Structure 1
């Protein structure tokens, strides 16, 4: 029996070169002729994070997932300017240009920093042309330190919470091997009220795999995040999803985004779940993606009459590798 938290073998892999030369690892799953879904993971995660959702979508969709720079098998930035929401937007734009010909659109789903990536790219013309609809899952557009609840408000002052949460985001301490203590810590910090042992172990496995230097560098980006203007410019039909026990991006963010999005098509609050909603309830996340595709995605139009894909002028370099 296949377990939901095992990796899904990709149908093909790609290496996409972003605007500053950073190599981005991309994996494609499911049907080659299916409607496209593009998945962007969050801080300290990787393509593996999406395995439970990919497994539910692969029978009907062409599912594309990629490692954010400095995560998984994507290269780490080579310069000090290589960390920031602008370069995350560059990476998403490069991936979309590599996997979607002009005229084809996808449902974009971003979790946590992946949702922030989609917000940051909202003004890019190449991204807009390739976006049918968006899912923002367990994310926020700014002011993360002031709302994070890993350190409970009832036991601490606002100043102490901000200090603690900043240290949590920017720490460069190595995590070492997964232990029962680390599984319990992640279960408390990022999962909901009743996580399974498998969910806690899977979460710890993914986060421990992220290098401490990159974890801290991206944590510094999140600590000063401000994408309020970008989310207000996200014109695509957008659904918002959050767990009611999310301590990292509490539902105040989801509700605020739903209010300012130009075309919000729904707010889903998953009772008792934490920050890792695609791990905790992949069926609910997959259901929202399916609904967005059914209502807002157009049939593929980037294919010529002879069946060949239309060329995308000026797109990034992509090198395909066999699965």
Structure 2
């Protein structure tokens, strides 16, 4: 399907013509593609209409010609185009993982009309604006300082990704594959290389000048206990001042839980959707 700037996105609708079941649109993270959702589709596909798509530059979707094509405002426009195409009259439920969740936070904070979104479930992908504000929140206690220092260490890869050519070389040499490990997904070289532009176009600029906005959409944050990149403190504390209806659920998994242990995620997503139906 076409985007507002003339690219083509690869969208897969696992429903059927005339499907009236609740629609769940899934947004994958980095360095994955939409195949990360296939285990979840197998678990929930009989109960929900599930739609997945390859984020621009990943999988079978086209890549923009410049870094500006990865700005988060354009990613929100892509998501809205998918929503409008697959469910033109009814709101959809959203599920995001890693960078898919990070970009979807922008959508639910107003970049996509809130009446088009029924719920949002976030897994291991905090809002950049909320993160920037959380890091600046005064907390002189030893535990508060420790939480922020710990998250800074866990997010150090973001600084690495800003360096020209070095992360590309690390991916091509296999070094980052050994470090990142994780989800049993059919990642391509394009997924690994193109997705770096998501960080370069958005991460530092958004967190340097955070502008968190109120979120009126019901949000569920799923927190893997063994996430090496997003601490529980960040995942749960950063959204709390801004989300009117926030539910937090802990699971015994890693950052890659959506692919490694989808059986932990699937019932939480389904039950949250149905509780807000």
Do they superpose with TM above 0.5?
yes
1:157 and 1:62 map into 2 onto residues whose CA distance is 39
Give a deviation string over 1:181-225, Cα, whole Å, max 9, x none.
Answer: 7665333xxx4xxxxxxx5xx14x42655152x132123135314
1:117 and 1:182 map into 2 onto residues whose CA distance is 23
**Aligned with residue 240 of structure 2, among 247, 254, 259:** 259
SS of the aligned residue for 1:59 comes to coil
* Correspondences of 1:172-211 after superposition (within 5 Å): 172-173=168-169, 175-176=171-172, 184-187=178-181, 191=182, 199=183, 202-203=184-185, 205-206=186-187, 208=189, 210-211=191-192
Alignment of 1:79 with 2:66, yes or no, is yes
Structure 1, gaps ≥5 residues long? 1-14, 148-152, 192-198, 298-323
Counterpart of 1:243 in structure 2 is 224
Counterpart of 2:5 in structure 1 is 20
Alpha-carbon spacing, 1:160–1:285, altered in 2? closer, same or farther (3 Å): closer
**Aligned with residue 106 of structure 1, among 92, 104, 110:** 92
| Contact 1:106–1:133 under 8 Å retained in 2 | yes
Whichever of the two has the greater Rg, that structure is 1
**Aligned with residue 119 of structure 2, among 128, 133, 136:** 133
Larger fraction in helix: 2
2:188 and 2:228 map into 1 onto residues whose CA distance is 16
Give a deviation string over 1:5-61, Cα, whole Å, max 9, x none.
Answer: xxxxxxxxxx2x222222211101145332100101112211101111111111111
SS of the aligned residue for 2:268 comes to helix
Structure 2, gaps ≥5 residues long? 136-145
Alpha-carbon spacing, 1:82–1:269, altered in 2? closer, same or farther (3 Å): same
2:221 and 2:150 map into 1 onto residues whose CA distance is 30
| Number of matched pairs | 255
Give a deviation string over 1:88-108, Cα, whole Å, max 9, x none.
Answer: 111111111111122x12211
Counterpart of 2:139 in structure 1 is none
**Aligned with residue 275 of structure 1, among 255, 264, 271:** 255
Task: State the TM-score, normalized to the length of structure 1.
Answer: 0.69
Q: CA deviation at 1:260?
A: 2.2
Task: State the TM-score, normalized to the length of structure 2.
Answer: 0.79
Counterpart of 2:138 in structure 1 is none
1:270 and 1:44 map into 2 onto residues whose CA distance is 22
> Please, what is the CA RMSD of the aligned residues?
3.1
SS of the aligned residue for 2:9 comes to strand
1:177 and 1:282 map into 2 onto residues whose CA distance is 30
Counterpart of 2:140 in structure 1 is none
Give a deviation string over 1:202-259, Cα, whole Å, max 9, x none.
Answer: 14x42655152x13212313531439544x4221111001212212222222112442
Alpha-carbon spacing, 1:228–1:282, altered in 2? closer, same or farther (3 Å): farther
